[in-house]
């Protein structure tokens, strides 16, 4: 969430920043938050004044009783009791208004980095790199969608996936399954030089999902295990970001770099009927995620590094790609700055987003209460703390990369050439051959 102190110090600057998102509801929420913050402080001040008066009366009661002035002591005690009831009422009112303020702040989006391009929607996202490796035209044998290729080769079995789990689930088989695993191992190996591998739980608490911004606003997009008050993770970003929740990190130990392979679960509320064929959009998929926890000064360099790492992996897979900068009106709630990597899938005849690399400033760190303590010039720990910055990036998300490989590397005989970078993980396979029709 944004810093409430900033709302008090410079509300117009916050308003100007949020106005770039082109969402009038956000500005209405901001106005309400400012009013609630003022009211919270008023009630708190009134409560504290009454509390001080009650404490003073308690001292007077004791002194009067010691002096034998019982009637005066009783009168002061009655006054103290009445004021105490008023104090409790004010405290309850302050807590109620404070809870409403916090609930509102959890829904107000992050402030946008000044270098984020202006725009209202994804149509305004500028291309900042590429296209790289995009041929002038594709031959007909590469103009076949991956769901047809996968069925023909016996490596994609959507029909049986739907039979056992319902719509918007997919199942890979044989070398198709091996290809998905190989992609994840490649992404892990390419980032193991700098990122610690974690295998986090796939179910998390409400507090954990709130920390990264999915709750409360996007509850409909997440699978809930209501009986146990747990949620299926939509990405490993969620548990990785909260590993150090409610902790204070030594700035000398930053940046913290983490990576994880995990299944990802998304209800995709509102998506049925759109991009649901094959692997373009599904309820469950595998992904390798990179997360960094940094100081504010370290964050820009980490954003560039994570983007370069994700780009390098896509390039190693010999796929045509481009990088776009996400404009202000298309940024997600938690995002301060974001880039997407897209690959071209000739069979689907479209660009597919395969990686998002994002900097969240201190928005997630404040929600998760991840703090940093700096050191002075002599190495001593400073007294105060500050909120950590967080970043994340998809090192590799399997479904769309899998689809792009199958379409881009399809050969005239119907086989699929497997990228050289994946060969060490494919048990000797270099191609996926058509099934025998005999």
- Quick one: 267 and 363 in the same domain? yes
Mean pLDDT, residues 241-258 taken together: 97
Domain range enclosing 62: 4-105
User: In the predicted model, what is the mean pLDDT of residues 33-45?
Assistant: 96
pLDDT in tens, 192-238: 999 999 999 999 999 999 999 999 989 999 999 999 999 999 999 99
Secondary structure of residue 177 in the 3-state scheme: helix
At residue 273, the pLDDT reads 53
- The pLDDT, as a whole number, for residue 275 is 66
Among candidate residues 251, 239, 257, the one with its CA nearest the CA of residue 305: 257
The whole-angstrom separation of Cα 386 and Cα 372 is 5
Rounded Cα–Cα distance for residues 244 and 255 (Å) = 13
Whether residue 383 is found in the same domain as residue 326: yes
**Same domain flag for 233 and 301:** yes
Whether the Cβ atoms of residue 268 and residue 280 lie closer than 8 Å to each other: no
Whether residue 112 lies inside any domain: the answer is: no
DSSP run (H or E) holding 371: strand 370-373
Over residues 318-328, mean pLDDT: 98
Q: Are residues 23 and 169 in the same domain?
A: no
Write the pLDDT tens digit of every residue in 341-395.
999 999 999 999 999 999 999 999 999 999 999 998 888 888 899 999 999 999 9
Say what the alpha-carbon torsion angle 238, 240, 243, 245 is, to the nearest 10 degrees.
-50
Could you please report the per-residue DSSP string of 27-94?
HHHHHHHHHHHHHHHHHHHHHHHHHHHHHHHHHHHHHHHHTT-HHHHHHHHHHHHHHHHHHHHHHHHH
Distance of CA 173 to the CA centre of its chain: 30
Note the pLDDT of residue 98: 95
Is residue 110 domain-resident? no
Q: CA-based angle 76:78:80, to the nearest 5?
A: 70
Determine the pLDDT at residue 211. Answer: 96
- Report the distance separating Cα 338 and Cα 331, nearest Å: 7
Let me know whether 45 and 146 are in one domain: no
CA 249 to chain centre: 21
CATH code for position 179: 3.30.930.10
Residue 10 has pLDDT above 80, yes or no: yes
Q: Which of 70, 105, 140 is the last residue of a domain?
A: 105
Residues 101 and 131 in one domain: no
Place of tokens 């400073």: 382
Do 278 and 392 sit in the same domain of this protein? yes
Q: Are residues 279 and 236 in the same domain?
A: yes
Q: What is the largest CA-CA distance in the chain?
A: 111
At residue 436, the pLDDT reads 64
The domain boundary, picked from 73, 105, 137, lies at 105
Residues contacting residue 39 through CB under 8 Å, at least 6 positions apart? 97
272 pLDDT more than 90: no
Question: Does residue 437 belong to any structural domain of this protein?
Answer: no
Determine the pLDDT at residue 64.
87
Q: What percent of the chain has pLDDT over 90?
A: 88
CATH (domain of 80): 1.10.287.40
For the chain, report the end-to-end CA distance as a whole number of angstroms: 62
Contacts of 191 (CB under 8 A, 6+ apart): 259, 288, 290, 309, 395
Angle, helices 24-66 vs 70-105, to 10°: value is 160
- φ/ψ of 248, rounded to 5, equals -110, 120
Is 111 part of any domain?
A: no
- The string of pLDDT tens digits covering residues 93-143 is 999 999 999 999 999 999 999 999 999 999 999 999 999 999 999 999 999
Indicate the residue among 105, 132, 152 that finishes a domain: 105
For residues 207 and 173, state if they share a domain: yes
Q: Which tokens hold the place of 137? A: 């035209």
Is 391 exposed, middle or buried, given 0-12, 13-18 or 19+ CB atoms closer than 10 A? buried
Q: Give the pLDDT score at 269.
A: 58
240 domain residue, yes or no: yes
Residue 340 pLDDT exceeds 80? yes
Closest CA to 265 of 211, 222, 304, 321: 222
Query: Within a domain: residue 438?
Result: no
Average pLDDT of the chain, as a whole number: 95
Confidence at 65, pLDDT banded by 50, 70, 90: confident
Residue 339 domain-assigned (yes or no) = yes
Tell me, yes or no, whether 68 and 139 share the same domain: no
Sign of the dihedral through C-alpha 68, 71, 72, 74: positive
* Percentage of the chain lying above the pLDDT 70 cut: 98
Q: Please state the rounded mean pLDDT for residues 33-43.
A: 96
In angstroms, rounded to a whole number, what is the distance separating the alpha carbons of residues 288 and 284?
14
pTM for this entry: 0.92
Whether residues 86 and 227 share a domain: the answer is no
> What's the number of CA atoms in the CB half-sphere (13 Å) around residue 2?
30
Rounded CA-CA distance 308/293 in Å is 18
Rg (C-alpha) for the chain, rounded Å, is 28
174 and 318 in a common domain = yes
248 alpha carbon, distance to own chain's centre:
21
SS3 389: strand
- Asked if the structure places residue 116 within a domain, the reply is no
Beta bridge partners of 432: 416
Q: What pLDDT score does 438 carry?
A: 39
Tokens read off for 111 = 């402030």
Arithmetic mean of pLDDT, 266-272: 68
Is the predicted pLDDT of residue 271 greater than 70, yes or no? no
* Cβ(37)–Cβ(100) below 8 Å: no
Is residue 169 predicted with pLDDT exceeding 80?
Answer: yes
Distance CA 7, CA 18 (A): 12
Q: What is the mean pLDDT of residues 301-322?
A: 98
- How many structural domains compose the chain? 2
**DSSP structural state of residue 253:** G
CB 33 within 8 A of CB 108: yes
């Amino acid at each position: 969430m944004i810093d409430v102190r900033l709302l008090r110090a410079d509300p117009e600057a916050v308003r100007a920043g949020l106005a770039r998102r082109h969402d009038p509801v956000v500005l209405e929420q901001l106005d309400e938050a400012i009013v609630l913050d003022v009211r919270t402080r008023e009630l708190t001040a009134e409560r504290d004044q009454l509390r001080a008066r009650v404490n003073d009366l308690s001292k007077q009661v004791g002194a009067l009783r010691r002096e034998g002035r019982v009637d005066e002591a009783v009168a002061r005690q009655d006054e103290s009791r009445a004021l105490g009831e008023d104090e409790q009422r004010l405290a309850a009112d302050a807590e109620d208004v404070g809870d409403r303020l916090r609930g509102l702040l959890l829904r107000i989006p992050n402030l946008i980095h000044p270098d984020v391009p202006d725009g209202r929607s994804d149509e305004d996202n500028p291309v900042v790199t590429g296209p790289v490796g995009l041929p002038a035209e594709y031959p007909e044998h590469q103009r076949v969608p991956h769901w047809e290729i996968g069925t023909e080769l016996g490596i994609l079995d959507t029909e049986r996936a739907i039979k056992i789990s319902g719509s918007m689930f997919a199942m890979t088989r044989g070398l198709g399954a091996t290809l998905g695993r190989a992609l994840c191992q490649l992404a892990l190996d390419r980032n193991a030089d700098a990122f610690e591998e974690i295998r986090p739980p796939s179910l998390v608490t409400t507090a954990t999902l709130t920390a990264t911004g999915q709750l409360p606003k996007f509850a409909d997009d997440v699978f809930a295990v209501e009986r146990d008050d747990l949620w299926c993770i939509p990405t490993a970003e969620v548990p990785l970001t909260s590993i150090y929740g409610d902790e204070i990190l030594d700035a000398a130990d930053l940046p913290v770099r983490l990576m994880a392979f995990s299944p990802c679960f998304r209800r995709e509320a509102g998506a049925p009927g759109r991009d649901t064929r094959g692997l373009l959009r599904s309820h469950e998929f595998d992904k390798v995620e990179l997360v960094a926890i940094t100081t504010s000064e370290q964050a820009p360099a980490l954003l560039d590094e994570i983007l370069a790492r994700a780009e390098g992996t896509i390039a190693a897979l010999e796929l045509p790609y481009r990088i776009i900068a996400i404009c202000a009106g298309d940024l997600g709630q938690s995002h301060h700055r974001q880039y997407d990597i897209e690959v071209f899938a000739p069979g689907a005849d479209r660009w597919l987003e395969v990686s998002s690399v994002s900097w969240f400033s201190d928005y997630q760190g404040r929600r998760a209460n991840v703090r940093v303590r700096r050191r002075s010039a002599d190495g001593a720990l400073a007294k105060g703390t500050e909120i950590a910055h967080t970043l994340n990036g998809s090192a590799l998300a399997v479904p769309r990369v899998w689809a792009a490989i199958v379409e881009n590397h399809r050969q005239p005989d119907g086989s699929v050439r497997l990228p050289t970078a994946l060969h060490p993980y494919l048990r000797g396979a270099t191609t996926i051959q058509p099934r025998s029709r005999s």
